[in-house]
Amino acid sequence: MNRQERRRRAAMAKHNSFVENYVQHLPEVGPEVLSKPGVSHMVFYHDDGCRIFDGDACNCEPDIRFFAEPTRS
């Protein structure tokens, strides 16, 4: 495995661990949450063949999901 492939796999693993360990447990909301105050996350699910993992521009049609942090007192 060459350096480029190792970097690609590391980028994919970093993205996947953030989603699996943190964002996945937050409530999923619609895109209207972006106009409201508070912390929200916009998560892009890219295809495995997407060039974004090679450091280039995205060449796929990613699935975009929105998650919101719960209101804290």
Residue 41 lies in a domain: yes
pTM (global) more than 0.75 = no
Residue 15 lies in a domain: yes
Domain housing 8: 3-68
pLDDT (tens digit per residue) in 32-59: 877 888 888 888 888 888 888 788 888 9
pLDDT (tens digit per residue) in 10-32: 887 877 777 777 777 788 888 88
Q: Which letter, b or e, does each residue of 19-58 get, where b requires 16 or more Cβ atoms within 10 Å of its Cβ?
A: beeeeeebeeeeeebeeeeeebbebeebeeebebbeeeee
Higher pLDDT, 63 or 72: 63
Residue 73 lies in a domain: no
Domain count of the chain?
A: 1
